[in-house]
Structure 1
Amino acid sequence: MRKIILILFVIVAAINLTSQIIGNSDLAFYSKPFLMPLLMIYFAVSSTEKSSLLNFGLLALLFSWIGDVVLMFQDRGELYFMLGLGSFLVAHLIYIYTYKKARWQEEENGLLPTQRIRYVFILVLAGCGLVYVLLPKLGDLMVPVIIYASVIVAMAIFALNRFGYTSQASFGFIFFGAVLFMMSDSILAINKFMEPLPIAGFWIMFTYILAQFTIVQGLLLHKKRVPTL
């Protein structure tokens, strides 16, 4: 069952990405709503235990799906963009909480304080830099975009702070996914508010799909630490 769902997810993702390249808007439109539900099913059947970690992960994917669907109609009015932005904002907040739960209580070979500050600074600088560039173009959306950018940077920082509190594989997948999420939203923002980018739809969806998948994989790879006697 797990492999079948994964294959279906990959097929739908390939269809969506291909449609972005060839400019088939109908195919892109009708394939997009199936991505997150398939990933939710994959997450559920792959999890070895039914826990709050699974439940919150599924909830984040659910709000991501709502955001996906709502943003499909953003050309009908600014309200749809705001609702989509709000859905993803909630998804990121849930991911932040999920990352806090997907941690060991005791640290093992974690980052040095100077390393942590350095990496956090890079993430904050990336978020602030993008907002600074976009500010003249945001208009009435300035406050919502700043709030959203702050939350997604916080999501990446919480992913970073799992280093040393989980396995290297779990940390790597989730942190990579968080950075990809930032990249996807950055491309979307530049394409929407500044100037159209070549095959922007492909790069937005490629980084987004890969981000969600790697985050799910990272959550699946997190295992509770067995106390040593």
Structure 2
Amino acid sequence: MLSWLAVCCSGLLHINAAYKGPRWQFYLFKPLTILLMMLIALVGGEANVYTYLILVGLLFSLFGDVFLMLPKDRFIPGLLSFLIAHILYSVAFWQQFDGPMIWWLPSLIGAASVIVFLLLLPNLGPLLIPVGIYIAVIAQMAWGAGEFWMNAHSQTAAYAFGGALLFMVSDTVLAFERFKGPFRASVLLVMSTYFCAQGLITLSVMP
């Protein structure tokens, strides 16, 4: 419980610093929040392939966080880091799936992803292909987590699916902020859903 309290405090300090400063607090607490989740998964998670995939996914998320918050923006390396994280999460979720496919689920997720892509399309420019690939990867990650939950109906699967859906929300808001223009509540929306997504995915490794 105290470890999760530390995660919450760290995340809130980062969000607060994004609006009010100081800058050192902004740079420190974003990666620290993910690092704390990695430690929770490492200490409390089961020693299996699923946990290891989630841990490495968190590590690449940490790399992505650092790239995206650097004063000199490293958007492409950040995008690539999160792309790898989503692929690792996807492998973890699909490995847990064992049962009949629920075909309406990818239809809903795919339709939502296409709508987001079309709304962003006029502003993507040379990033059209990388962003399109990223949207496709995160959509199939959510699909994998959803199939896992629809078949297992376990708490672990519920955490995984909830985390994947929140990740989609976070990345969608981030994409609109970057390509359509910033708005005051964007940091709060992006980071609160992002930290909750990573927290739920971390919880999915707990026995």
- Paired residues in the alignment total 206
Q: Which residue, 43, 50, 71 being the options, matches 1:53?
A: 50
Task: Indicate conservation of the 8 Å contact 2:86/2:141, yes or no.
Answer: yes
Mapped to 1, the partners of 2:140 and 2:146 lie a distance apart of 10
Mapped to 1, the partners of 2:175 and 2:6 lie a distance apart of 29
Unaligned runs of 5+ in 2: none
Mapped to 2, the partners of 1:126 and 1:71 lie a distance apart of 25
AA paired with 1:158? G
Show the counterpart of 1:86: 80
Show the counterpart of 2:41: 43
Larger Rg: 1
Q: Match of 1:162, SS?
A: helix
Show the counterpart of 2:11: 13
The normalised TM-score by structure 2 is 0.92
Q: Give CA deviations for 1:47-97 in whole Å, capped at 9, x if unaligned.
A: 2x3112221110000000000001112x525xx100000000000000011
Q: Give CA deviations for 1:188-207 in whole Å, capped at 9, x if unaligned.
A: 00000012122211111000
The alpha-carbon deviation at position 117 of structure 1 amounts to 2.6
CA shift in 2, pair 1:84/1:168, >3 Å: same
Superposed CA RMSD:
1.8
Q: Which residue, 73, 93, 117 being the options, matches 1:131?
A: 117
Percent identity of the aligned residues?
29
Mapped to 2, the partners of 1:164 and 1:119 lie a distance apart of 9
Mapped to 2, the partners of 1:92 and 1:164 lie a distance apart of 20
Task: Indicate conservation of the 8 Å contact 2:54/2:201, yes or no.
Answer: no
- Extract structure 1 runs of 4+ deviating beyond 3 A: none
Q: Give CA deviations for 1:107-162 in whole Å, capped at 9, x if unaligned.
A: 4xx7xx6xx33222111111111110111101111110000000000100001111
Mapped to 1, the partners of 2:77 and 2:60 lie a distance apart of 11
Task: Indicate conservation of the 8 Å contact 1:183/1:207, yes or no.
Answer: yes
AA paired with 1:88? F
